[in-house]
Amino acid sequence: MLDLRPVEELVERHRGQRGVLIPLLQRVQEIYGYVPKEAVDLLARELDVYPVQIYGILTFYAFFRLTPRGKHTIKVCLGTACHVMGSQDILDYLCHKLGVRPGETTADGQFTVERVACVGCCGMAPVVVVDEQPFGHTTIQKADELVARYSAA
């Protein structure tokens, strides 16, 4: 069962303040790594808003997550330079290998695979970023090696 005491404390600290919903959701995500349904329900009750209003915010802003993240996050750049150099094939390979779709986390909780629009390393295309560490000139073989390396970590 999820410990909601941190969320309750947040609500108490900000009770009666206006415009606190997004900052509260950001803080909840910092605490849990995502925004759990139980926290949404508690915030809706305590702030007297409908859960659907909260989900509207959570699904509008790309930085909110509704599911737990993996121990490691693999981001595949699909910007123009990376795409031309084959990043879609790398993304497809990683998703197939790990048994997930983009945005999902592996069943063992090891990896979350994401597609991103651009990481700003166009001269190193195609680029894969693992836990904020960019790897340039990535091939399917190199992606395979990254999965093996981070599986052991």
By the 10 Å C-beta count (0-12 exposed, 13-18 middle, 19+ buried), 152 is classed as exposed
Q: Do 17 and 83 sit in the same domain of this protein?
A: no
pLDDT tens per residue across span 46-80: 999 999 999 999 999 988 999 888 999 999 999 99
Whether 85 has a pLDDT exceeding 80, the answer reads yes
pLDDT tens per residue across span 121-153: 999 999 999 999 999 999 999 999 999 999 987
Q: Do 43 and 86 sit in the same domain of this protein?
A: no
Q: Is 67 a domain residue?
A: no
Q: Do 56 and 78 sit in the same domain of this protein?
A: no
- The enclosing domain of 78 has a CATH number of 3.40.30.10
Domain count, the chain: 2
Question: What is the pLDDT, as a whole number, of residue 152?
Answer: 82
Distances (CA, A) of 29 to 39, 65, 98: 10, 8, 25
Cα 29 to Cα 41: distance, rounded to the nearest angstrom: 14
Residue ranges making up the domain that contains 35:
5-60
Strands (DSSP E) found in the chain: 72-77, 111-116, 128-130, 133-135
- Boundary residue ending a domain (33, 60, 87): 60
Residue type, position 63, single letter: F
- Boundary residue ending a domain (38, 60, 82): 60
Q: Do 79 and 48 sit in the same domain of this protein?
A: no
Question: What is the pLDDT, as a whole number, of residue 18?
Answer: 84
- And the tokens for 87? 């990043």
pLDDT tens per residue across span 3-19: 999 999 999 998 888 88
Q: Do 26 and 53 sit in the same domain of this protein?
A: yes
Using a pLDDT cut of 70, give the percent of the chain over it: 100
Q: Do 37 and 101 sit in the same domain of this protein?
A: no
* Mean pLDDT value of segment 113-127: 95
Phi-psi region of 33 (alpha: psi -120 to 50; beta: other; left: phi over 0): left
pTM: 0.75
Q: Do 78 and 125 sit in the same domain of this protein?
A: yes
Question: What is the pLDDT, as a whole number, of residue 16?
Answer: 83
Q: Do 26 and 56 sit in the same domain of this protein?
A: yes
CA-nearest of 13, 17, 70, 6 to 39 is: 6
